[in-house]
Structure 1
Amino acid sequence: MAEKVYENIYKIEIPLPKNPLKALNSYVVKGKDKNLLIDTGFNTKECIDALIQGMEELEINFNNTELFITHLHADHSGLATFFQEKGVRIYAGEVDGELINQMTKMEYWKRFNEFKIIFDLEKDEVSFEDHPGYKYCLREPISYVPLREGKGLQVGEYFFEVIFIPGHTPGHIGLYERNHKLFFGGDHVLDRITPNIAFWGFGEDILATYFNSLGKIFEYDIDYLFPSHRNVIRDHRRRIGELYLHHKERLNEIINIIKKEETSVRDVASQMQWSIRAKNWEEFPSPQKWFATREAMSHLEHLYYIGKADKILKEGKLFYKEK
């Protein structure tokens, strides 16, 4: 069902069955000559049906609509191939666009087997095949128009500036409309829930990158921040302050865990507090173990980068201890 959220801007709620996120906010900006759809949902029939129903309610079709993908995650990019087959022009960021296409190849997912060893997740017998990113991503590469910061898209009365906001993913992008003070932020800033800040590789302190991107958006003049999940945000600076505090508390929590002895990434994650309906780590669903461990890893690496933790590799597994 399509819901009007601003003049000529609508939200289509896309169900994400059996997923803690529950739903994706896909947005449509209607223009006289063309329309812009922002993010798609998983590569599933439920998501396709919801999107098509919303498009029909708004009286738009594939011929007069373009697709903008904020970042690589499958709940945002999963139906890109479906839209490409309909002849829809697709926009994606330079960094995440390349990763979206890499996700269609098994080599990308086999890296998770390396992470499983490094994180000490082998003891949980998890598999990348349980990961929603693998289960619901697109299966064929897409052709897309690569976007970088400074590029712009005109849709009706709105001119959107592309904003580079890495952190949640390596190449997350958003759209800022300066005249109306609107921002489509994907998963960069969410209300009531916090974006997952995962480890992507050893070449970057991704948590610090996320902090920098939060600070960047803090300075923008925004009346309506349209996130990909949950509620529209009217006070983005308040929410960004809460997100900074959340991660500060996370870092302190982890320091207390690694204070006494060298601890593996998996064992750190298992001792952290998570908002999930599970009594203990053993009851965590396999996908949530992936998410939790990669987030623990991003925080551990941040502590290492800023000189508050040491790390050591033993038998292929990483262990961290307070410095």
Structure 2
Amino acid sequence: MNGIEELGLDLNKTDLLVTHLHADHSGLAAVLSKQGFRVYSGETDGHMINKMATAEYWNTFNDYKKLFSLTQDNINFDDHPGYKFSPKEPVDFILLHENDEINIGEFSFKVVNIPGHTPGHIGLYEERHKLFFCGDHILGKITPNIAFWGFEYGDMLEVYLKNLRKIYDYDINYLFPAHRFIIKDHKTRINELISHHESRLDEVMNIIKEEKKTVRDTAASMHWELRYDKWEDFPNPQKWFASGEAMSHLEHLLYMGKAERTEENGVLYYKLK
């Protein structure tokens, strides 16, 4: 809120649009909604944000801890930034859908569904000025975390790659990510992100080639651009994120028919076919 005040924004003339459910984007949504803000969100992530305000949602992370074999790391859901910083009460969202329009002055923004980073991520495209606000769908230098959100959401890595390709041919002069810098050549960055995940898949296939691996052990064997030398030194939030990313790639290999999944004593194992 201090940052908003420093920008000199008139809060009486300010609406909030949440591109996706992550706490660094939605954390103040309930507070601002209670202050009278109109708060917009895509339907899927809006519903999920409100589920995340309940204890039942976070209790499922205990199941994932067992499935991923993270129990040995003494990790709990209360280590997760989403638990710490997400709204703690339901938000009265105005729910948005594909092709809905939001008009602000001379700008007419069209809602674009771009799930992958989260199940219901949305972006805004302004065709006349060739602007695209993409949240965390495309980032410069760093790669968006593609995680596992539950078996009901299917192959999230494939969903993400599909929605990178979806906006490839959009006529965009300026792509506005939610982190770091503006991107002026979105096609090159999309190609880089696709190539990154192809390399990641090769890496994961090599890890599970000789013997079956848990999600945790797969993540621990992957290369991460972090300041820590070994898995045991990773902070618990990073272990959650890395395991989710490993899981999305393992599940993608399963959907592609290149890997097989087994479960033993409540723990998942993956092996290359």
TM bucket by the smaller chain?
A: over 0.9
The CA deviation at 1:317 is: 0.3
Aligned residue in 2 for 1:94:
43
Aligned residue in 1 for 2:98:
149
Aligned residue in 2 for 1:65:
14
Task: Pick one of 162, 166, 173 that aligns with 2:122.
Answer: 173
* Unmatched tracts of structure 1, length 5 or more: 1-47
- TM-score using structure 2 length: 0.98
1:270 paired with 2:220, answer: yes
Cα distance in 1 for partners of 2:182, 2:139 equals 9
- TM-score using structure 1 length: 0.83
1:309 paired with 2:262, answer: no
The runs of at least 4 aligned residues of structure 1 exceeding 2 Å deviation read none
SS for the counterpart of 2:25 is helix
Cα offsets for 1:129-174 (capped at 9, x unmatched) = 0111111111111101110001000011100000000000000000
The CA deviation at 1:199 is: 0.6
Cα distance in 2 for partners of 1:281, 1:49 equals 36
1:80 paired with 2:29, answer: yes
Q: Greater strand share, 1 or 2? A: 1
1:164 paired with 2:113, answer: yes
The answer (yes or no) to whether the contact 1:62–1:87 under 8 Å persists in 2 is no
Cα distance in 1 for partners of 2:142, 2:4 equals 24
Task: Pick one of 210, 213, 220 that aligns with 2:160.
Answer: 210
The CA deviation at 1:52 is: 2.3
Cα distance in 2 for partners of 1:182, 1:53 equals 25
Aligned residue in 1 for 2:229:
279
Task: Pick one of 120, 135, 140 that aligns with 2:84.
Answer: 135
Aligned residues: 272
Alignment-mate amino acid for residue 92 of structure 1: S
1:222 paired with 2:172, answer: yes
**CA RMSD of superposed structures (Å):** 0.7
The CA deviation at 1:51 is: 2.1
Cα distance in 2 for partners of 1:80, 1:265 equals 33
Aligned residue in 1 for 2:75:
126
Aligned residue in 2 for 1:14:
none
* Unmatched tracts of structure 2, length 5 or more: none
The answer (yes or no) to whether the contact 1:62–1:86 under 8 Å persists in 2 is no
Cα distance in 2 for partners of 1:119, 1:49 equals 39
Q: Greater helix share, 1 or 2? A: 2
1:322 paired with 2:272, answer: yes
Cα distance in 1 for partners of 2:200, 2:4 equals 36
Cα distance in 1 for partners of 2:57, 2:64 equals 12
Cα distance in 2 for partners of 1:116, 1:196 equals 18
Alignment-mate amino acid for residue 138 of structure 2: V
Aligned residue in 2 for 1:250:
200
